[in-house]
Amino acid sequence: MKPASATVAKHDGGGEDEKFAVGNIYAVKLITGDEFNGIVLAYDSGPNFAIFEEGTKPKPLDSKTLRMVNAKYITEMKNLGNVKDPLAKKTLVNLDGLIDKENQAIRNVEKIGFGVTAEAQRIFDAISKTLPIRWDNKNMLVMGEVIVRSPYHSDCVFGGTRAVNDRVKTVLEQVRKKLQLSDT
């Protein structure tokens, strides 16, 4: 059983590589003033970036706090020991999953209206469960056709065909009722 650090130490390379051997634990200080303790997970001398896992003990694989640090801006590194095999086992990266994750995250951010009231946001969220809706500045755009303007009551619904418009109105009323908002 070869420890990982031994493998890395085999290589040629500057002191950087040895310094950043996988498994070393350091107390790191950055030029921004930020300080943290971390275990070296990866380092590449090309870009001169190191990846630390925050903390002094490895955490479970599904929840680590990683720090990708520009080694150029590390002011101080104090060795706190080292850990064997911070990566306990071989792992996989599911790129498609990550792409989905990213898209989902973007969608979630887009769901948040900018400069709208909390009430408006709640209405938006409630409608978004059943109808496609997105923000258009401070207006809600439902099904690409119907605009709901502030203050987002049934009489603020414009656009679209009669049927769609009525539908949006109904949904809006129900949402308001359910959220126990004022009814006008």
Partner 1 sequence: MKPVLHSGSSSNGFSHRRVEKETGMNNAQPSADTTENGWEAGSVDTLSHKLLVYFTTCNIGHQVEVHLKNGSVYSGIFHAADVEKDFGIILKMACLMRDSQGTKSRLPLVSKPPSKILIIPADELVQVIAKDLPVSSNNVSDSVQCEKPLELLTDSLISQFYNVDLERELKPWVPDEDGPDCSDLENVFDDPWKRGWNQFEVNKTLFGVTSTFDEELYTTKLERGPGTRELEEQALRIAREIVGENTRDLHVAEERGLQLSGKFDIDEETKYSSVCTANRFDDTGYEDEEEDILLDCCNNLTFGDSSASDGKKPASTGKVYEETWGDSLHLRNINIVDQSWSNSNKHTHQLMSEQPSKDFPVAGNKIRNESQLGEQRKSKFLGASLYSKPSEESVSGLEDAPPSEKPSFTAGRLGLLSDRAKSESSSGWPGSSLSRNSENSAASSASNRPILSPSSSIGSLSSEKSTLNPNAKEFKLNPNAKSFKPSSPSAKSPQSPVPDGSFYYPPVPPMPGLRIRFGMGAAFPGQQHPMMYNNTTQLSPNQTYYSPNSPQYPQQMMVTQQRPVLFMPPTPYQPEMPYKGRDSY
Residue among 8 and 120 whose Cβ is closer to partner 1: 8
Candidate residues 15, 162, 163, 180; the one interacting with partner 1 per rule CB under 8 A: 180
- At 31, is the secondary structure helix, strand, or coil? coil
Residues between 67 and 106 with contacts to partner 1, criterion CB under 8 A: 67-70, 73, 85, 87-95, 97-106
Candidate residues 15, 114, 162, 184; the one interacting with partner 1 per rule CB under 8 A: 114
Candidate residues 15, 62, 163, 184; the one interacting with partner 1 per rule CB under 8 A: 62
Partners of residue 178 on adjacent β-strands: none
Partners of residue 53 on adjacent β-strands: 39, 66
From residue 16, give the alpha-carbon distance in Å to each of 44, 78, 84.
Answer: 9, 14, 19
Based on the shown chain and the rule CB under 8 A, indicate whether residue 8 belongs to the binding site for partner 1. Answer: yes
Long-range contacts of 51-56 (CB under 8 A, 24+ apart): 52/26, 52/28, 53/86, 56/25, 56/80, 56/81
Q: How far is the CB of 45 from partner 1 (least distance, A)?
A: 7
Cα–Cα dist 172/28, whole Å: 53
Which residues contact partner 1 by CB under 8 A? 1-4, 7-8, 10-13, 17, 20, 22, 30-32, 34, 41-49, 51, 54, 61-70, 73, 85, 87-95, 97-106, 108-110, 114-115, 122, 125, 129, 178-180
